[in-house]
Structure 1
Amino acid sequence: MVSRVVTRPRLHCVLGALALASLTAGAQTASPGAMGFSHKDWGLQCDNTRTCRAAGYQSDSGDSDPVSLLLTREAGPDAAVEVQLQVYTEKANPATLNLKVGKLSLPALDGNSPSVPAAQVPRLLQELVRAEEATVTGGKDKWVLSLAGAAAVLLKMDEVQGRIGTPGALVRKGSKPESSVLPPVPAPVLKTVKPVPARKGDAALLKPLLAALGPAALQDQCTGGTPEADVMKVYRLTDRRVLLEVPCGMGAYNFSSLLFMANDRPPYQPKPLDDVDGEFDAETGTVHSSMKGRGIGDCWRVREWRFDGKGFVLSGEHGDGMCRGFPGGAWQLPAYVTQ
């Protein structure tokens, strides 16, 4: 990897290919206020603040090593577009990279963290919707970036941000005033609560909690039947509420857990946490879920929920649903952000 160090997320969820479909196919709203879209070799992810990120890759049917271009634009009038480049090679990192798109040549980009100079971005955007491909060279190495789908994805970005027909549109420019562009949406502010410390005897709650659940609650949902009790955990949330974590689904490289909130005394009344799945961190009150679409980990979906004193609320989601050969994933594209 020549553009950045990739941190590989932990693995917690099963059925990665199915869940990643929400980040890859057509237009989607995976999280509240978010929108994802893909066409051919380009994909778009706009988060709940209307910040949009479009990423293009090498052709899935070609023989180029992995290469990607990322365009990031915040919402609001006159917002600038930031462009980053990334390539992958198993050889030594080139000191510089050269990008050529149509009639535009951008030589000597920093090989470790290549970004397109702001002054060159407008010209680059023009060439992206005209050319069929772009080339990147570094030393004797060459990468070919497909531009198939770029125009459709950039048009969708304009649509989401309300730019179509304005001077700042990426594809369909016009004379509508920039003031008509949709403004940014503030990120939601979460009021989170740190779980109280564990108490002596919390582990002993496992047996009565499982009895209150009944065997059918786990047999119907867990891969391979009910797991052994020694892999289950009970966490203290509040003075009277606890969390039961049951590692449940096992895949080739992902796994999932069932989570239940319950009273710490009869009636226990364990209730499943709908749409919350992952590993609980008692120190922060966070449930973290990561899934990769295939073994090399080049496409991911990551979600987190925080405890708010009563339950768990979504606090963040990001991922990159296009599996194009970058170990650990090419980019982290936020779909949902909070404060």
Structure 2
Amino acid sequence: MKSACVAAALLLGALSVGAAGKKEPVSFSHNDWELVCDNTLTCRAAGYQADGGEHQQVSMLITRAAGPNTALDIQLQIGDDGSAKGPLRFKVGKAALSGLDAGTASFDQGQIRAVLPELLKSDDATVTANGGKKWTLSLAGLNAVLLKMDEAQGRVDTPGALVRKGAKPESSVLPPVPMPVVQVVKPPKARPGDDALAARIFPSLDLKEARERCNNQDQVNARSVEVHRLNDRKVLLALGCGVGAYNYTTLLWTANDKPPYAPVSLEASGEFDEKDASVTSSMKGRGIGDCWSSETWHFNGTTFVRTGAAGDGMCRGFAGGAWSLPRYVSRLVDAAAPSLTSSKP
């Protein structure tokens, strides 16, 4: 039942081996499962109900950090309108778990040991609630995705591999990659006259990309530009506009606050948050908003540095997406008073 999935992953094995050797993020999907490994080599595999037809929304997330002898984390989520009664029961093959929380449930290590072998050899798993409501989790693609996870983390042929175990020592497993550390600078308050800078700098902007990307050309004018103070000499100019059928973005430039303004277009785009000098762009995969991608950048005193990226690639009916799957993470340090803050995927 699972041989086709494993064969598909093996055909793509060379790509994963290369990615593992270079310690680059990995993204892969097969049938009803997807995998994202971030830049630290933490991998997350997410599976869903079968695509198409009438199916209740259900999803499983399997997370594993890099390094020898690392444990799995498994979470289960159902899409529910609140009508599910009482605790849930999860069944796959010969394994059954009762008393799971409705909404999102986390498996303990004993439960993971019980269900993992059955997940790997079954076609689907079911979740039931009191009253007979039922969800069916597809396992089509699970083995291929977990083999890709093993490859990305250097686990193939080791005792800790999920799919293809062997006798290679656990010490051969790739270690976790440290998160990049980014020093961030809190911007000063706006100065008198900053609002007037939009009209002064606007004629210097290269608006070719803006005119190509913005649906409404009337939005591309000086009145639509916001100005944010970055430091004593630099400001950020932000031009918001609609892109595509259901997405909105903000195009950005940095500039001097005095002539010559010398504006520079940024790769970063999105809404600016003055509290931490961050820019975040979020895009829907489709109109109903059941899959998203996002990217975050922070100002480091000189320029904007990418500090986070996440996205789920499968649109399976969960409002806002079932999970956020980080592709890039970092540690943020306050440059004025160095102290570790949370990362923003």
Q: Taking structure 2 as the reference length, what is the TM-score of the superposition?
A: 0.85
Are the equivalent residues in 1 in contact too, given 2:78–2:103 (CA < 8 A)? no
Cα distance between partner residues in 1 of 2:62 and 2:210: 44
Are the equivalent residues in 2 in contact too, given 1:93–1:112 (CA < 8 A)? no
> Structure 1 residue 135 and structure 2 residue 155: aligned?
no
Structure 2 residue aligned with 1:10:
none
Q: Give 1:274-293 correspondences, 5 Å limit.
A: 274=267, 276-293=268-285
Cα distance between partner residues in 1 of 2:294 and 2:145: 23
Which of 157, 176, 179 is the matching residue for 1:187? Answer: 179
Task: Summarize the Cα distance change of 1:88–1:218 in structure 2 as closer, same or farther, 3 Å threshold.
Answer: closer
Are the equivalent residues in 2 in contact too, given 1:218–1:226 (CA < 8 A)? no
Q: Any idea what the Cα deviations from partners look like across 1:101-122, whole Å, max 9, x if unmatched?
A: 1121112222244122311313
Structure 2 residue aligned with 1:123:
114
> Structure 1 residue 150 and structure 2 residue 145: aligned?
no
Equivalent residues, number? 311
Structure 1 residue aligned with 2:211:
219
Structure 1 residue aligned with 2:94:
103
Cα distance between partner residues in 2 of 1:226 and 1:180: 58
SS in 2 for 1:266: coil
> Structure 1 residue 245 and structure 2 residue 238: aligned?
yes
Q: Taking structure 1 as the reference length, what is the TM-score of the superposition?
A: 0.87
Are the equivalent residues in 1 in contact too, given 2:254–2:264 (CA < 8 A)? yes
> Structure 1 residue 273 and structure 2 residue 266: aligned?
yes
Higher helix share: 2
Unmatched 5+ stretches in structure 2: 1-14, 332-345
Cα distance between partner residues in 2 of 1:304 and 1:52: 20
Q: Any idea what the Cα deviations from partners look like across 1:271-296, whole Å, max 9, x if unmatched?
A: 1002x110111221000111111222
Q: Give 1:80-91 correspondences, 5 Å limit.
A: 80-91=71-82
Cα distance between partner residues in 1 of 2:265 and 2:206: 13
Cα distance between partner residues in 1 of 2:62 and 2:24: 20
Structure 1 residue aligned with 2:252:
259
Q: Percent of aligned pairs with the same residue?
A: 53
Shift of 1:45: 0.9
Structure 2 residue aligned with 1:44:
35
Structure 1 residue aligned with 2:57:
66
Cα distance between partner residues in 2 of 1:104 and 1:39: 24
Shift of 1:299: 0.4
Are the equivalent residues in 1 in contact too, given 2:202–2:222 (CA < 8 A)? no
Structure 2 residue aligned with 1:334:
326
SS in 1 for 2:150: helix
Unmatched 5+ stretches in structure 1: 1-25
In the alignment, residue 156 of structure 1 is paired with which amino acid?
A: K
Task: Summarize the Cα distance change of 1:218–1:64 in structure 2 as closer, same or farther, 3 Å threshold.
Answer: closer
In the alignment, residue 93 of structure 2 is paired with which amino acid?
A: G
Higher strand share: 2
In the TM superposition, structure 1's runs of 4+ consecutive aligned residues that sit over 4 Å from their partners are: 26-29, 214-217
